[in-house]
Amino acid sequence: MNRTPAVDSQVGPSTSPGWTAERTLPVDLRAGTAARDWLRGIFGSSCRVRDEFLLVVSELLGNCAEHGGDGKVSLSVVHGRNRVWGRLVHHSPPIGKPVLRGDVTAQTELLLAAAGPAVPVEDLAEDGRGLFVVQMLCAEYEHVSGPGSSVTEWAMADCGCFR
Ligand SMILES: [Zn+2]
């Protein structure tokens, strides 16, 4: 441990030495490509987890585009000593139809309709595989869904940079 004391007063991972990058992207089918092109220019070519990190980003963005409707994502990347952190916040509009108040039968029907044929099993399996791969690649992975947004945080270790 030979960190320089009192340099980083911010919350979160140390960025000294290293870099941070942040960008807001519209959620569409090109978001993954845009994010990969942007990040490829920022990561050093010697970073051993660069390609895996880009894969995780496009997998997560693809997931947002497929299931989150439209909206925006904020993507931030923190590259510290031998480790890279990512944080993806998906600001999505509320999903689904509003439930009518005061009519229990109508509510039940709406709920059943919402829960019904929604997602084919094959699509679920496809999702499962993508997210499984993401979790296998990451040293840390956490996903929290809220009513208006969801947050995914992940980290990759042993990239060999800034040691
Ligand atoms: Zn690196």
| Residue pair 22/77 in contact by the 8 Å Cβ criterion | yes
Please, which residues have CB within 8 angstroms of residue 68's CB and are 6 or more apart in sequence? Answer: 27, 90, 92, 95, 150
Give the CATH class of 19-95+124-157. Answer: alpha beta
| 29, pLDDT greater than 90 | no
Average confidence score pLDDT of the chain: 77
- Cα 79 to ligand 1 centroid, rounded to whole Å: 7
Longest dimension (CA), the chain: 66
Give the rounded percent of residues in the chain with a pLDDT score beyond 90: 43
- Cα 159 to ligand 1 centroid, rounded to whole Å: 4
Residue 56 pLDDT grade (very low, low, confident, very high; cuts 50, 70, 90): very high
pLDDT, mean of residues 66-78: 83
- Cα 78 to ligand 1 centroid, rounded to whole Å: 10
pLDDT tens digits, 94-145:
554 344 444 455 555 666 565 554 444 444 445 567 888 899 999 999 998 8
Report pLDDT for 97.
Answer: 39
Q: Answer whether 0.75 is exceeded by the pTM.
A: no
pLDDT, mean of residues 35-54: 94
**Among the listed ranges 29-43, 65-79, 105-119, which one has the minimum average pLDDT value?**
105-119
Residue 68 pLDDT grade (very low, low, confident, very high; cuts 50, 70, 90): low
- Cα 128 to ligand 1 centroid, rounded to whole Å: 27
- Cα 158 to ligand 1 centroid, rounded to whole Å: 8
- Cα 163 to ligand 1 centroid, rounded to whole Å: 10
Which residue is it, tokens 């990347």?
A: 77
Report pLDDT for 13.
Answer: 58
Tell me which of 14 and 139 has the higher pLDDT.
Answer: 139
Which residue is it, tokens 């340099």?
A: 7
The pair of structure tokens assigned to 33 is: 């490509």
| 39, pLDDT greater than 90 | yes
Where along the chain do its domains lie?
19-95+124-157
Report pLDDT for 69.
Answer: 57
- Cα 90 to ligand 1 centroid, rounded to whole Å: 25
